[in-house]
Chain A
Amino acid sequence: MTATIFKILLLLAIFVTVLGATYPKQRAAIQEEQATNYDNALVHDSMRAQAQYEAALKSTTENTAERIATGNAYAAALTSQQRFEEAAKIYQDQLALTWGLVNNAYNEKWADASMHLAGAHRNLDNQPAALVCYDSVLKHDQQFLPANDPRIVRDLNNIGLMHYLIGMGKSEALDRKNEFKTSRDYLEQALSMLEKNNQGNTAKASATLWNLFLTCRDLDDNAAANQYRVRAQTIDKSLNRVCREP
Chain B
Amino acid sequence: MTPSQSAPAETPTPLPQTAAVRDKRIDKWLENWNRFWFEPTTPVAMALFRIFFGIILLENMLIHLLPDFDLYYGKNSLIPINDMMSLYWHSSYYFDLMAALPDNDKYIYGLFWVMVAATVMMTLGLYTRVSSWVTFLLLMSFGAHFQLNQNAGDNYLRLATMCLALSNAGDAFSLDNLIRATRQDWRETGFGARLSAPWAQRLLQIQICIAYGHTWYSKMEGKMWNDGTAVYYAVRYDDLMRFPVPHFFDQLPVYMILTWGTLAIEFALFTFIWWRPARYWVMATGIALHLGIEYCMNLPMFEWSFMLTYLLFIYPEDLTRSWNWVKAKIRERFGEPYRLAFDGSCILCIRTIGLIHRLDIFGRIKPIDFTDKDNDAELTEAKLDRERAQKEILLQKRDGDWLGGFKAFRRISLRTPLLWPLAPILFIPIVSFFAELIYKAIAANRKLILGSSSKVSSSKVSS
Contacts and interface: CB of A to CB of B under 8 A. Distances in A.
Interface of A: 11, 14-15, 17-19, 21-23, 25-26, 29-30, 32-34
Given A21-B100, A25-B99, A30 B85 contact: yes
B89 A18 contact: no
Interface size, B (range)? 10 to 19
Contacts of B82: 25, 29, 32-33
A158 B137 CA distance: 63
Contacts of B13: none
Contacts of A18: 95-97, 100
A25 B97 CA distance: 12
Contact of A33 (B81, B86, B95): B86
B137 A30 contact: no
Given A18-B96, A29-B81, A30-B86, 13 more contacts: A11-B133, A18-B100, A22-B93, A25-B82, A25-B99, A26-B86, A26-B89, A26-B99, A29-B82, A29-B85, A29-B86, A32-B82, A33-B82
B83 A29 contact: yes
A19 B133 CA distance: 17
Contacts of B96: 18, 22
Contacts of A19: 93, 95
B455 interface: no
Contacts of B325: none
A23 B93 contact: yes
A26 B137 contact: no
B47 to A, nearest CB: 20
A26 B85 contact: yes
Nearest to A34: B86
Contacts of A22: 93-94, 96, 99-100
B90 A30 contact: yes
A39 B287 CA distance: 49
25 contacts: A11-B133, A14-B137, A17-B100, A18-B95, A18-B100, A21-B99, A21-B100, A22-B93, A22-B96, A22-B99, A22-B100, A23-B93, A25-B82, A25-B99, A26-B89, A26-B99, A29-B81, A29-B82, A29-B83, A29-B85, A29-B86, A32-B82, A33-B82, A33-B86, A33-B87
A15 B95 contact: yes
Contacts of A26: 85-86, 89, 99
Contact of A25 (B85, B87, B95, B137): B85
A23 B100 CA distance: 9
Nearest to B85: A29
Contacts of A32: 82, 86
A203 B86 CA distance: 44
Contacts, number: 41
A19 B97 CA distance: 9
A19 B96 CA distance: 8
Contacts of B89: 26
Contacts of B133: 11
A202 B94 CA distance: 58
A22 B97 CA distance: 8
A-B CB proximity, top 10 nearest: A33-B86, A21-B100, A29-B85, A29-B82, A29-B86, A22-B99, A26-B85, A30-B86, A18-B100, A22-B100
A29 B80 CA distance: 11
A30 B93 CA distance: 13
A28 to B, nearest CB: 8
A71 B133 CA distance: 62
B196 to A, nearest CB: 13
Contacts of A34: 86
A228 B82 CA distance: 51
Contacts of B83: 29, 33
Interface string B69-113: 000000000000111011101110111110110000000000000
Nearest to B97: A18
Nearest to A18: B100
A218 to B, nearest CB: 37
B91 to A, nearest CB: 8
Contacts of A15: 95
A115 to B, nearest CB: 39
Nearest to B129: A7
A25 B96 CA distance: 11
A33 B133 CA distance: 34
Contacts of A29: 81-83, 85-86
A62 B137 CA distance: 68
A34 B133 CA distance: 36
Contacts of B93: 19, 22-23
A26 B96 CA distance: 11
A11 B133 CA distance: 9
B429 to A, nearest CB: 49
Most B CB atoms within 10 A — which of A17, A21, A26, A32?
A26
A15 to B, nearest CB: 6
Contacts of B90: 30
B95 to A, nearest CB: 6
A34 B87 CA distance: 10
B41 to A, nearest CB: 19
